[in-house]
Structure 1
Amino acid sequence: MTDPVHRPEQAAVRGLLRAVGEALDGPVPREWQAAITATPRHRFLPERIWLENDEGGYEPCDLSTDHDRWFEAAYQDTPIVTQINDGQASAAPADAWPSSSASAPSIVVRMLRDLDVRPGMNVLEIGTGTGWNAALLAHRLGSGHVTSIEIDSEVSEQAWAALNAAGLDVDLICGDGSLGWPHRHPYDRIISTCSVRHIPWAWIEQTRPGGIVLTPWDNPMLCWGLLKLTVERDRAQGRFSPHSAFMLMRNHRQDLRIFRDVVQDDHAPDESETVLPPWEVTGKHWEARFALGLRLGDVWTAWEDDPGVDGVAARLWVATTDARSWAAVDHDGRQNKRFTVWQHGPRRLWDEVTAAHHWWQHNNHPTPDRFGLTVTANRQWAWLDRPAQPVRHPLP
């Protein structure tokens, strides 16, 4: 007989599995259906989560005071913010920014499916978060085969409590995931639940030849893409796919702001014109932004609506991560053929962006799956179609 107390939970799990199957264009593999059913998602969420509000910010939702809304959010195929501001108190809701989350179940299943794990394999997870992903792996692989690293002690404690309550044997470490965990290597698989801007060599060293490293990708232009590397004796190599947007690994973060760090009062920029619309390299043009991000490497953008300049309705800022060079492209809000450009610093940044965009067009608008990455102990480089065709100079 079915316990009536668990009927809402079971119905929610079935609904989630249907939603994930629709997102993946096919049923959830049986082994992951069993894992999700055995480790319900809501049991790995903290009592307070943060949901988006109508103003584009986040507001708390507590299990104790808003159970139905909290439970409904737990079984939607969407990410859930579980920590804001690295756990520090926020002075106002508008100041809240997400620092830890539970990933959307469909991308969780997609990554686990791509990881191609089998019982008995040893897996290292970078970024424990709520512990749900580690729980799914532990259910699939068996006792003592999953090691997970979480840099945030409070997040780590919550995950440990949830895993312990579920009776799952995961070796949970509070530490820097970019260093891996050499005490239990070699691993058959390493999976990261945070995005990176370069691959830590420690991950490659700690993975056995023939093993897989799977991680979300980020570049300053765009946080998007999933990278799957196969490890060889002295290198790792693999391709991107157009999935996932994860929070950046904490020691890969950069806190840059245009008017605080880049543009200074004494700058005297050069003026020119462009016919490349600024929105062609930002906004929803994800595939172009992904390619430009690989090509340019250290360039980021920011929009400024109504900048308070006569004749300018919107302005696109482009800057380097060392804050030494910047460009601004102005749109007057009327015509879409010519745009005023301002450039300052040792690099003509908008000229570089324009050249990179022409390169993307010349190569038939390549999507992320045409790009790959090769990693060695001394360097790593992105390439288009094949490793012998680098996108730019080797990454630092």
Structure 2
Amino acid sequence: MSDQELRKRLAAQLTAGGQLRTRPWQEAVEAVPRHEFLRGGFFDRLDTPGQPTAWTPVMPDDSLWLERCYEDESLVTQIAGAITPGDIRGEILRSPTSSSTMPGLVVRMLEDLQVEAGQRVLEIGTGTGYSTALLCHRLGDDLVTTIEVDAEVSARAGAGLGALGYAPHRIVGDGLAGHEDSAPYDRVIATCGIVTLPQAWIEQTRPGGIILATLGGWMYSSELARLTVKEDGTAFGRLLGGQISFMLARPQTPPPLGVLPDLDQGDEHAALLGADVVNAWDTRFVAQLAAPRAQRISLSRDGRTEHVLLDVEGGSWAALYEDSGRWLVRQGGSDRLWDDVQDHLTRWRKDGAPTLDRFEVTVTPERQTITWPTA
């Protein structure tokens, strides 16, 4: 099957799935060859029970490479901040740091951006350049500014864009700072996860403009949010639902855990809720609102599993474990992390546990607030 046929097949698949909803974006998907942005190959994930996740390269000379480029899946293109598929033979055990997002999510976000012809767009996170090319096809090069923190990633994207004749304003820099030189923008779209929406994005978006970004936290539950910028320099909107997940913007990634505190110290008491409640996506998102700087890990100690929340910068922690069918929690530091989480989850449940697509987001120069409707 030719790449043109594969593009049309992908567009039909995304239309049937509801991600691709309008003709202009359908034309863009049918026109832009995704494989041109994957000429350097991608990594396949290898999961072996009891072993760390490994990654192995898939290069253009692989018989399935072209067809894989047009599957609706995310394809990892960089490991450990520097390693590309052509750099290794065999397997690598480090963590992914850049990828080509699954096309279904790319076009869903472009549709949710509600962009119109003639509008100026800032894209945070160029990545491979595929989504940038879709924007250029729809709007024209002069109306698209894309910023990428990794110079090598940006250069590879630039090569792919140039090969197809696209020439957006391509910037290497911290996307959290936006790009003031091309402002104001009608639309801002972020293809990285963020914990706190940067004020610079609001300042660089015209009143009435839209910002589309994935908001989450260090417990790794996140949701797509669409906010409208107001005349007073604030932004307001809602979560859109769908359990959307991106790699966090590098400046907002959690700090290293370092040396753990003495988990045998602290105050211990029975927990109203067990650590298993945060296994559910929605519940974990709500828990993050109460402990936005906490990371979650599990440890095997004294013949039992302890579930730990740790705020490295604040110095607070909570360790939960199950004993004879009941949950106990031990907490230390200036904050009582699990007490805060329990209180937040209890209020959310009393209000009927509304789904995340009903949550509202308000961002002012002073703070970011995410709330749910009360009963």
TM-score, normalised by the number of residues in structure 1: 0.86
Structure 1: how far apart are the matches of 2:21 and 2:240?
19
* Residue correspondence of structure 1 range 57-76 to structure 2 within 5 A: 57-68=53-64, 70-76=65-71
Q: List per-residue Cα deviations over 1:163-219 (Å, max 9, x = no partner).
A: 001111311011111111111111111111111111111111111111101111121
In the TM superposition, residue 10 of structure 1 has moved relative to its aligned partner by 2.6
Change (3 A) 1:77 1:339: same
Do residues 18 (structure 1) and 12 (structure 2) align? yes
- Corresponding residue for residue 3 of structure 1: none
| Paired amino acid for 1:47 | G
The equivalent residue for 1:191 is: 189
1:298-330 CA-partner distances (Å, limit 9, x unpaired):
2231233xx1423x2x32111224251111111
Contact 1:262 1:324 survives alignment (8 Å): no
Q: Does 1:54 align with 2:54?
A: no
> Separation in 2 of the partners of 1:37 and 1:91?
33
Aligned partner of 1:217 among 212, 215, 218: 215
Letter in 1 for 2:313: D
Match of 1:290 among 285, 305, 313: 285
TM-aligned CA deviation for residue 276 of structure 1: 2.0
Partner of 1:254: 254
| Alpha-carbon contact 1:46-1:158 (below 8 Å) kept | no
Question: Retained in 1: the 8 A contact 2:148–2:175?
Answer: yes
Cα 1:114–1:64 change in 2 (3 A) is closer
2:333 is aligned, of 325, 345, 361, to 345
Q: CA deviation at 1:33?
A: 1.3
Q: What is the match of residue 170 of structure 1?
A: 168
Contact 1:51 1:80 in 2 (8 A): yes
Comparing 320-329 with 203-212, greater Cα deviation is found at: 320-329
Secondary structure, aligned partner of 1:230: strand
User: Which residue of 2 is the match for residue 384 of structure 1?
Assistant: 372
1:100 is the counterpart of 2:94: no
More displaced stretch, 83-92 vs 48-57: 83-92
SS in 1 for 2:193: coil
Q: How much has 1:366 moved relative to structure 2?
A: 1.9
Query: What CA distance in whole angstroms lies between the structure 1 residues aligned with 2:271 and 2:181?
Result: 55
Tell me the residue number matched to 1:273.
Answer: 270
Matched letter for residue 38 of structure 1: A
**Take 2:157 and 2:169, find their aligned partners in 1: how far apart are those partners?**
11
- Once residues 232 and 192 of structure 1 are traced to their aligned partners in structure 2, the CA distance between those partners, rounded to angstroms, is 19
Q: 1:268 to 1:91 in 2, by over 3 A?
A: farther
The 3-state SS of whatever aligns with 1:213 is strand
- Shift, 1:22, TM fit: 4.1
Q: Report the alpha carbon displacement of residue 223 of structure 1 after superposing the two structures with TM.
A: 3.5
**Structure 2 CA distance for partners of 1:169 and 1:51, relative to 1, 3 Å:** same
Report deviation, 1:31: 1.1
Kindly provide the CA deviation profile for residues 39-62 of structure 1, in whole angstroms up to 9, marking residues without a partner as x: 121111242311211236242323
Structure 2 match to 1:316 = 307
Cα shift at 1:383: 2.3
Counterparts of 1:373 and 1:202, CA distance in 2: 17
1:236: Cα distance to partner? 1.1
Contact in 1 for aligned 2:57/2:88 (Cα 8 Å) = no
Q: Name which of structure 1's ranges 161-170 and 371-380 shifts more when overlaid on structure 2.
A: 371-380
Matched residue SS, 2:302: coil
Question: C-alpha distance in 2, partners of 1:159/1:241?
Answer: 29
1:299 to 294, 298, 302: 294
Q: 1:278-310: CA deviations, max 9, x gaps?
A: 2112x2x11111112123322231233xx1423
Partner of 2:80: 85
Tell me: CA distance 1:82–1:213, structure 2 relative to 1, closer, same or farther (3 Å).
same
- Give the Cα separation in 2 of the matches to 1:352 and 1:96: 34
Total equivalences in the alignment:
367
Residue identity opposite 2:330 in structure 1: W
**Does the CA contact (< 8 Å) of 1:50 and 1:58 recur in 2?**
no
Structure-2 change in CA distance of 1:181 and 1:225 (3 Å): same
Letter in 2 for 1:98: P
Q: Deviations over 1:65-117 (max 9, x none)?
A: 4241x223311211111111111589995631011111111111111001111
